Chains A and B, each alone.
Chain A
Amino acid sequence: MSQSIGTRRQLYALSTPAVVFTLALIAFPFGYTIWLSLHEVAMGAAPRFNGVANYAAMLRDAEFWNGLWITFALYLLSLLLQLVFGTWIALLLHGAKRLSGLVRTLMISPFVLPPVVVGMMWLVILDPAIGAANWLLQQGGLPRSDWLASPTWVIPTIALIDTWQWTPYVALIVLGGLQGLPPNVYEAAQIDGASRARIFRRITLPLLLPTLVTAAILRSVDLLRFFDIIYITTQGGPGNASNTLNIYGFRKGFEFFEIGYASALMITLSTIVLGAVLVLTQARKRVAW
């Protein structure tokens, strides 16, 4: 049955408030930020058009390149850890008949915690002087670490915190993928006498790839925009060792009030996020079965 004009009109009316809201608070600000990025915006003066000067300044800004490098280092390290451990945990739970229900319930807790709380929690654990993490290291006969206070270790440490929070989420996605695999493939392989490792490498992993890419897309969006935990724990420090693009852009905008330049940084970061999503979406099509 085709929709009558009256029906269509009523349906449009139903979605109008949401569309107006989306245009006013999402689409318009997005466009406005692009506009701002092409202007010099000084407080108390009208914005002055300066073409791509903000972007040109960005390319000459060592802090931008530092931020770009840190953003990608943190992104790739965290993503790798979360996919590997997530898959591993999913396989464990998939193989277990008992326990898995209880553990699945527990696994929800890290990723529903406010990132700010996660930051507070780990600040205390990782305190260089009196934190439990260093005490554990000492018990194992290992040297203490400065963790978040160390320019060398701050990024791996933040990656570890995010991995603690989000690996369970990745694991639950992968577990869903595992449970959706056709069981008859396994049976055939088992009859053929293939080893566990071989079944995983040749059958499970290729069939699981679309799920893994989906998990990667979801994590990429968050990891490339990493903000809360860094702002709570280090604010980009020590020095500029954890100054990701998002942190740098925020500070440029709201601590130094260089709104035009901050806008250019944010448009650049959004382009990177969008690019990553597009690349991964294409990859997902390629590995689909």
Chain B
Amino acid sequence: MDERWIRRLNTLQIVVVAILILLPIAWMLLGSFKPSSQVTAYPPKLFFAPTLDNYRQLFQTTPFAHYTWNSAVVTVGSTLIGLLLGVPAAFAVSWTRINWPATVTLLARMAPGTLFLLPWYLVFRELGMIGSYWALILTHAVITMPIALWVLLPFFDSIPRSVLESAQVDGCSVPRILWRIALPLVMPGLVVSAILAFVFSWNYFLFALVLSNGDTKTLIAASFNFIGEGATYWGALMAAATLIALPPLVLAFIVQRRLVAGLAIGAVKG
């Protein structure tokens, strides 16, 4: 077989792969715009008059807007706390080469969420914090803080020591060096870690399943309830899935180049 045919075959396979990746997502999107009479049609309908009824129904029959607000509060809160804790820690770990605090955070990446949820549940119940935003923000920060720390670590490592030391000679305090010199240099890393932290906190399911109540339920935890009704409202279910998927999709495309390395926290340094 000559070179040209091999290349054509290669391209064909790539197209097939791309279709396989896109098809389920496209199906969800299509389903969300189908009139209710056609969502459950068999054989499935590919052509139909698109409607926004499912989205309308979603907002009218469920507190979707309220859940969205809850998700926003928990996600933004935990991302901010994660950065507030993780950024200075990453800077210190990078400077001192004392790694154990970073290594301990990997426990959160390796142990199942339920392991943490059992003691948290007992403690938060004792403190009367079940159902509070704070319980969700703090536990979600367990996801976001290690991301901030590990994603930023290589960025801080790449700052030449001499830059930091000459600032010290000029009489700069360490926090001031972090704020004025190091942070501007790691801006791209800061953006990536903020976005990754946001995406992971937004997507996280388990903690809110137990620690939220009807008032503070996040979108992801509430989806579980949508499915109960899903048998009758498939269109609305797909509309919900589409809307929930939108923020992580949009954000991920912004940082796509750094995404894969960012997700591999801890694995690179082992």
Contact = CB atoms under 8 A, between A and B. Distances in A.
Interface of A: 1, 3, 7-8, 10-15, 17-19, 21-23, 25-30, 32-33, 36, 89, 92-93, 95-96, 98-100, 103-117, 120-125, 129-132, 135, 164, 168-169, 172-173, 176, 214, 217-218, 221, 225, 227-228, 231-232, 246, 249-250, 253-254, 259, 262-263, 266-267, 269-270, 273-274, 277, 281, 284
A33 B41 CA distance: 49
Interface string B83-127: 011101101110110000100110111111111111111110000
A99 B11 contact: yes
A266 B116 CA distance: 9
Given A1-B165, A7-B168, A135 B120 contact: no
Interface string B225-251: 011001000100110110011001101
| Chain A interface, DSSP helix/strand/loop, else mixed | helix
Q: Nearest 9 pairs between A and B by C-beta?
A: A18-B89, A10-B174, A114-B203, A15-B92, A112-B252, A266-B115, A14-B88, A32-B119, A29-B119
Interface in B156-183: 165, 168, 173-175, 178
Contacts of B52: none
B129 interface: no
Contact of B145 (A21, A106, A263, A284): A21
Interface stretch (B58-66, B136-144, B185-193): B136-144
Contacts of A104: 256
A270 B31 contact: no
Interface in B177-221: 178, 199, 202-203, 205-206, 209-210, 220
A15 B89 CA distance: 4
8 contacts: A25-B138, A26-B116, A30-B111, A103-B17, A124-B27, A176-B260, A231-B224, A262-B118
A96 B11 contact: yes
Q: Which of B165, B205, B223 has the most CB of A within 10 A?
A: B205
A259 B125 CA distance: 14
Contact of A14 (B20, B91, B110, B241): B91
A116 B116 contact: no
Contacts of A214: 264, 267-268
B43 interface: yes
Contacts of B138: 25
B175 A124 contact: no
Given A29-B119, A108-B252, A169-B260, A21 B25 contact: no
A225 B113 contact: yes
Contacts of A172: 260
B42 to A, nearest CB: 4
Given A36-B118, A92-B13, A262-B114, A26 B174 contact: no
Contacts of B121: 253-254
Given A124-B230, A135-B42, A254-B121, 19 more contacts: A7-B168, A11-B91, A15-B101, A17-B88, A17-B89, A22-B105, A30-B116, A32-B122, A33-B118, A89-B17, A95-B7, A108-B252, A114-B245, A117-B244, A117-B245, A124-B28, A232-B205, A246-B114, A281-B270
A91 B245 CA distance: 29
Contacts of B139: 25
Nearest to A225: B112
Given A19-B101, A92-B14, A259-B122, A113 B112 contact: no
